[in-house]
Amino acid sequence: MAHLLIVEARFYDHLNDLLVEGAKAAIEAAGHTHETITVPGALEVPGAIALAAESEAYDAFVALGVVIRGETYHFEIVAGESARGIMALTMDGLCIGNGILTTENEAQALTRARPSEGDKGGGAAQAALAMLALRERFAK
């Protein structure tokens, strides 16, 4: 049984609730356990995962959050840098499912976040578990 950490960037509460719901359901359906922590925004997700990984208490991680395009360049920085940070951690051997949504508007985010539709939270949890299975396979 694996123990996963869900790291959520809690900026849009109603959207994050849907992502977390999907992630928890996928982890539990696979027979694993989880904890959840909250960080202020998507840029803090990779740092929180890196800090948590040092504890060696978690087998895999699920990164969740929502970044919606606004009127400034901030969207590109947050979307790109959070993804870059997560990718760097995966290249260092951490098993992470990236469920940080980057959308043009709230309607797109809702469609992707709802467990009954896009279920990107559940998909991110499944991706983390798939990477964990690969790591275990290659460790043999």
Q: What residues are designated binding site for (2S)-2-hydroxy-3-oxobutyl phosphate?
A: 71-72, 112
Chain-centroid distance of CA 9 in Å reads 9
- Nearest residue to 129 (alpha-carbon basis) of 95, 88, 98: 95
Positions marked catalytic = 74
Distance in angstroms (rounded) separating the CA atoms of residues 9 and 16:
8
Tell me if 23 sits within 8 A of 124, measured CB to CB. yes
**HSE (side-chain half, CA atoms, 13 Å) at 61:** 29
Known binding-site positions: 11, 42-44, 66-68, 71-72, 98, 112
